[in-house]
């Protein structure tokens, strides 16, 4: 299935925000950005760099600007989704009945594109390495395919898996949890992805 088909399918599956997401997609497609699916959501890139995307949630839908911290935001539309955690990412949130202004969205997208071309970016702090519980570390050492899949996960997803295993007090529970997550890791999905209506 092509990226375009995946995005069409993603939007078709949205019962609550289908019309709004189709409208956002039309706006995004007016730019030079490449349309892709990442983390199960429509994402728009420039020369392999993440620029923006959109997602649907239970009570709202949002546009994500991956390096939104650099946007001037003259209309005060952008918010940090997780204060203290998120450094570069900013979101523009919409709720039922909100007007979707194509001109303003394009203004933000074009500025994001220019910032990407200028090389403006905040890189994630990789100094906080994920501490793997021994049972998970042993399994990754023994299985190259699993280790490769685990390494390709985002640091946040790696941390979720490590904490999920480590939080089990009994070794038997750790083994049971490990057998449950192996297919998810190999599939490239995160532990809590099913709860993210993205």
Write down the residue that tokens 């949890």 correspond to: 177
Are 67 and 107 in contact, with CB atoms under 8 Å apart? Answer: no
- The whole-number pLDDT of residue 98 equals 95
pLDDT tops 70 at residue 60: yes
Beta-bridge partners for 44: 35, 52
Write down the residue that tokens 């039309």 correspond to: 26
Could you tell me the CA-to-CA distances from 49 to 65, 66, 87, 141 in Å, in that order? 12, 9, 16, 31
In this predicted model, what pLDDT tens digit does every residue of 142-174 receive, in sequence order? Answer: 999 999 999 988 888 898 899 999 999 899 999
Task: Kindly state the DSSP code that residue 68 receives in the 8-state scheme.
Answer: G
4 pLDDT tier (thresholds 50, 70, 90): confident
CATH topology of domain 3-117: 3.90.1150
pLDDT tops 80 at residue 39: no
Please give the mean pLDDT across all residues of the chain: 89
**Is the sign of the CA dihedral 121, 42, 39, 33 positive or negative?**
negative
Report CA Rg, the chain.
Answer: 19
d(CA 97, CA 6) in angstroms, rounded, equals 27
Q: How much is the average pLDDT of 113-126?
A: 85
- From the CB of residue 95, how many other CB atoms can be counted at a distance below 10 Å? 9
- The whole-number pLDDT of residue 1 equals 79
- The whole-number pLDDT of residue 128 equals 61
* Domain regions of the chain by residue span: 3-117, 134-191
pLDDT tops 90 at residue 113: yes
Tokens of 32: 């030079």
- Percentage helix, strand, coil, to 5, in the chain? 45, 15, 40
d(CA 155, CA 131) in angstroms, rounded, equals 11
d(CA 3, CA 72) in angstroms, rounded, equals 31
pTM: 0.66
Q: How much is the average pLDDT of 106-130?
A: 85
């Amino acid at each position: 299935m092509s990226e375009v088909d995946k995005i069409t399918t993603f939007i078709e599956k949205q019962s609550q925000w289908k019309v709004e997401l189709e409208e956002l997609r039309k706006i995004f497609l007016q730019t030079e950005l490449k349309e892709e699916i990442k983390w199960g959501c429509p994402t728009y890139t420039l020369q392999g760099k993440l620029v923006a995307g959109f997602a649907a949630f239970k009570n709202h839908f949002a546009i994500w600007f991956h390096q939104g911290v650099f946007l001037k935001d003259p209309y005060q539309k952008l918010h940090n989704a997780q204060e203290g955690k998120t450094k570069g990412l900013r979101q523009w949130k919409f709720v039922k009945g909100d007007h979707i202004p194509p001109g303003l969205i394009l203004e933000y997208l074009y500025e994001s594109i220019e910032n990407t071309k200028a090389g403006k970016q905040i890189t994630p702090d990789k100094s906080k390495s994920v501490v793997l519980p021994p049972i998970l570390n042993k399994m990754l050492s023994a299985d190259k395919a699993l280790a490769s899949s685990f390494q390709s996960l985002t640091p946040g997803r790696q941390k979720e898996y490590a904490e999920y295993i480590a939080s089990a007090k009994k070794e038997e529970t750790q083994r049971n949890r490990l057998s449950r997550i192996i297919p998810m890791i190999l599939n490239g999905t995160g532990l809590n992805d099913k709860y993210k209506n993205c």
